[in-house]
Amino acid sequence: MNIRTGQIVRVDFSDHTAGKPPAYRFTVYGRLASVRRKSICVVGWGYTNAREKVDVNCDKWTIVRSAIHRIALMGEREVLFDERENGHA
């Protein structure tokens, strides 16, 4: 899979809690903020506009590729809520 910055993904990976073995499997969901040769960065709480600078108000995780088990592309199959339908626009 060719992953790219800006895609919305689910990432399953191994991590050590508090730096001690054993490694546990975790899942994070979010937008890819960066894709590098050895790591990816996922933003789980970020600006709606992907062009906004990531800052201290955003939650992000850098995950080394060697710890990743699976990356799945997430998609908008069905809109569950739309503010325009409830008079919030």
User: pLDDT by residue (tens digit) across 49-63?
Assistant: 767 766 667 788 899
Q: To the nearest whole number, what is the mean pLDDT of the chain? A: 83
The DSSP line for 14-78 is EEEETTEEEEEEEEEEEEEEEE-SSEEEEEEE--SSTTSPP-TTSEEEEEEGGGEEEEEE----S
Question: In the structure, what pLDDT confidence band is assigned to residue 65 with cuts at 50, 70 and 90?
Answer: very high
What's the pTM? 0.76
User: pLDDT by residue (tens digit) across 1-21?
Assistant: 689 998 999 999 998 777 678
